[in-house]
Amino acid sequence: MDEAGVGRRQFMKYCAGMTALMAMPPMATTAFAKQLRAARRPSVIYMPFQECTGCLESLTRSFAPSLESLIFDTISLDYNHTLQAAAGHAAEEARLEAMEENWGEYILIVDGSIPTKLNGMYGVSESHTFMEQLEQTAEGAAAIVAVGVCAAYGGVGAAYPNPTGAVGVADLIKNKPVINVPGCPPIPEVMTGTLVSFLANGVPDLDAHLRPRAFFGNTIHDRCYRRRFYDRGLFAKSFDDEGARNGWCLYELGCRGPTTYNACATIKWNGGAGWPVESGHGCIGCSEPGFWDQGGFYEPVTAKLFTERGESIAAAAAGVAVGAAAGLASKARKKKLASETE
């Protein structure tokens, strides 16, 4: 870092930013810096399977750290179809060499779902199915980071009727730590932040869906700046009415914020420039399992809509509906009281 012109002040500022990003206490900054300073650049193997490259495109737009800083100063990116110069046999030799030299220590990043029907024949590379490549590469990995909703839960590939039998990484790999970073695509800083966090402190605290709680511990609804309008029963009825122009809640237009866990409302996108709800569109719930099969994106969240996803989600949706009804009732009472007062 000294050779690259990065001073101690800049380094500590970066560590303070990362610990704040992950909701760690201020006193953790020094410990985080110590661990990160001691960590050598780990080998990272990035395996793309049934995907669209959108997650990698998102990663290239990370601001903290930037992609070039990540791959030149923090990690050693030894295999990635899109970014590496090698192709064909040379690319596969680079992967095998990285695995051999860093056995038991490299990080495996998986992007895209894994097709399982016809013994995995829907996805083949170098005469090996994606299933075989995943199992082979996962065997020597220290941990696996599944980036994107496809790698985490199957994503669009697993949408009904799931013709390829697409599944997420954790459905196949049971003997290695799996960290899910879902989204379509995920927030770039969440991807880089998860990697840096793993380097400094190992596998982070994960929720029931194997997502880092630091980034997926709250719903979009919890941190949304439109929440105050929801609590007051003020909802936009269309995307161009007066309520929409005044920033009212988008719940009745199908916003999935109440049942979606992600950091969009706090970290935002494009270096903090904004996020979908701030741009006037409801959250579509892209970091949740099965979001492609949750009905139309413009239907209000209801318990019935989420029945197939289990009682907890159904209960949450029911609670949201009750909260919305309570907000409307409160608004009606206030209006009545004002009328009686006049």
Mean pLDDT of the chain: 84
Percent over 90 (pLDDT), the chain: 59
Contact 163, 169 (CB under 8 A): no
How large is the average pLDDT for residues 109-133? 95
Q: Is 15 annotated as contributing to ligand binding?
A: no
Same domain, 18 and 92: no
Here the tokens at position 330 are: 């409160």
pLDDT of residue 81: 85
What secondary structure letter does DSSP report for 281? -
Same domain, 182 and 298: no
What's the CATH code of the domain at 194?
A: 3.40.50.700
The confidence band for 309, taking pLDDT boundaries of 50, 70 and 90, is very low
Same domain, 48 and 80: yes
Neighbours of 306 (CB within 10 A): 25
How large is the average pLDDT for residues 241-253? 95
Same domain, 34 and 170: no
The confidence band for 37, taking pLDDT boundaries of 50, 70 and 90, is low
Which run of H or of E encompasses 336?
helix 311-341
The confidence band for 291, taking pLDDT boundaries of 50, 70 and 90, is confident
| Range from 57-66, 114-123, 171-180 carrying the lowest mean pLDDT | 57-66
Range of the domain at 6: 1-38
- Across 134-196, the runs of DSSP E, i.e. the strands, are 141-147, 166-167, 178-181
Cα 160 from chain centroid?
22
pLDDT of residue 312: 45
User: Would you say residue 45 has pLDDT above 60?
Assistant: yes
The last residue of a domain, from among 165, 190, 216: 216
Same domain, 45 and 74: yes
CA 191, 197, 199, 202 torsion-angle sign:
negative
User: Would you say residue 314 has pLDDT above 50?
Assistant: no
Same domain, 135 and 242: no
Neighbours of 35 (CB within 10 A): 15
pTM for this predicted structure: 0.79
The packing angle between helices 28-38 and 8-21, to 10°, is 110
Contact 193, 58 (CB under 8 A): no
Same domain, 34 and 45: no
User: Would you say residue 68 has pLDDT above 80?
Assistant: no
User: Would you say residue 22 has pLDDT above 90?
Assistant: no
What's the CATH code of the domain at 298?
A: 4.10.480.10
Same domain, 237 and 201: no
Q: SS3 for 91-109, per residue?
A: HHHHHHHHHHHCCCCEEEE
Same domain, 143 and 165: yes
Instruction: Report the alpha-carbon distance of residue 247 to residue 104 in Å, rounded.
Output: 50
Same domain, 62 and 88: yes
Q: Domain total for the chain?
A: 3
Of 312 and 211, the structure prediction assigns the larger pLDDT to 211
Same domain, 261 and 336: yes
The last residue of a domain, from among 216, 234, 268: 216
